[in-house]
Structures are given as C-alpha cells and as structure tokens.
Amino acid sequence: MQSDIERVLFDGPAIHKRLDEIATQITADYSDRDLTVIAILTGTLIFMSDLLRRIPLPLKLDCLSVASYHGKTQTSGEVIFKELSVPDVAGQDVLILDDILDTGRTLEAVLKEMQTARPRSIRVCVLLSKRKQRARNVDVDYIGFEIDDEFVVGYGLDFMERYRNLPYIGVLKKELLEEPGQ
Ligand code: IMP
Ligand code: MG
C-alpha cells in the first residue's frame, strides 16, 4: 500500500495537531448551541472519530450516505440494503462533516437536502479542500488543510475503496489513477 503513494502530504502528528485546533474552534463556537454533527460516509469515518473525541460538548451524531444507489430490479426475497435516511435535524445547529471538497457537488446536494429538514443553522467542516475552480460554490466554515488539485488517499479517503486505513494523507501515484486500456 505504502509503495503506491507518491508522497506524504500530512502525517499522523500533523493531522492530529490540526484537529486539536479545529476542535477548539468548534467547541468555542458551539458551547451554547444544540450541536448535531452529520458525518458523510464513508470517507469521514476516521476524521470524524478523531475530531469528535476532541470536542467536549453534549453533541449528537448522525451519518448520511450519499453514494448513488444503483437500483436493480427488485425481486421478492432479495435483501436490499437501503441508503440511510436523512436525519431529523429540525431546530438543531447542524455541523456537516465531509472528507474533501473537490467539485462541490456533493456538499451542495447535501446542504440542499438538509435545509429541507429546517435546522436552526448549518455549517460545514471538511478535512481537505482542493484549491481549484469549482463546479459548485459551497461555503465551508472549517477547513483542515487546503491542498493542490491532486488525488489524495489515506486517513479515510479512498481510491476504489482502498487506502482508507493509511494513517496519513498522501498523493497517489498518477499511474494508478489511469484506467487500464485508456
Ligand atoms: P465533490 O462532490 O466533487 O466535491 O467530491 C467529493 C467527494 O469526491 C469526496 O467526498 C470524495 O469521496 C471524492 N473525492 C474527491 N477528491 C478526492 C481525492 O483526492 N481523493 C479521494 N476522494 C476524493
Ligand atoms: Mg470516495
């Protein structure tokens, strides 16, 4: 796995140091609020777990899965695993956690959906934000690190569902991103 990484951008200690800073900021901002964290699966799992344990507030936690559901013809007797439903956040101060802001499409869709549930407020926290021209303009309130427009993996982030368990964030070797036969 390590040999697939071109270079490490942020090692474990660097990530944890930054999480200390963000957690302090979030704790101060939400000390008198009714914080509900909504983590977008699966990429945020490791980030979420490390961040939330640094926030000593009586927060609530829920998860949202935005992977597109490829519905197949449903036959009786088939077990279907459905997407998680949109959490009920009416009147709550919602903080959405996502792993990385790339084109902005995911967060735009999530924000739109969450607004319909009438929360008191919504903010967004991402571990990584790519410096690039985005397809969608999304306002993000807390950013772990800004990075160049490169494909990164580790610390929850995947390439074809692999590399999530790397304890650091690194740039994947370019040749691995190229699809065979292209
Ligand atoms: P967006 O909708 O284009 O902003 O993309 C957000 C999602 O794309 C993230 O939640 C990731 O799952 C995935 N993604 C975008 N860039 C990367 C990357 O560099 N590494 C791993 N996943 C990425
Ligand atoms: Mg992904």
Cα dihedral sign, 46-156-104-101: positive
Q: pLDDT tier at 69 (50, 70, 90 boundaries)? A: very low
Residue 48: CB atoms within 10 Å: 23
Of 86-90, 93-97, 137-141, the one with minimum mean pLDDT is: 86-90
Q: Rounded to the nearest whole angstrom, what is the distance from the C-alpha of residue 58 to the centroid of ligand 2?
A: 29
Q: Rounded to the nearest whole angstrom, what is the distance from the C-alpha of residue 43 to the centroid of ligand 2?
A: 6
Q: Which atom of ligand 1 is nearest to the CA of 104?
A: 4
> Tens digits of per-residue pLDDT, 32-43?
999 999 999 999
pLDDT of residue 180: 62
Choosing from 102, 152, 153 the residue with most ligand 1 atoms within 8 A of its CB, the one to mutate for a pocket test is 102
- Report residues whose beta carbon is within 6 angstroms of any ligand 1 atom: 43, 98-106, 151-153, 157
Entry pTM: 0.91
For range 96-121, the mean pLDDT: 94
Q: Which of 4, 1, 3, 2 is nearest to 177 (CA)?
A: 4
Catalytic annotation present for 102: yes
Kindly name the residue from 50, 93, 99, 102 that is annotated as catalytic: 102
Phi, psi at 134, each rounded to 5°: -95, 150
pLDDT of residue 134: 87
Choosing from 99, 124, 138 the residue with most ligand 1 atoms within 8 A of its CB, the one to mutate for a pocket test is 99
Q: Which atom of ligand 1 is nearest to the CA of 157?
A: 21
For range 133-156, the mean pLDDT: 95
pLDDT of residue 71: 43
> Tens digits of per-residue pLDDT, 14-67?
999 999 999 999 999 999 999 999 999 999 999 999 999 999 999 999 999 886
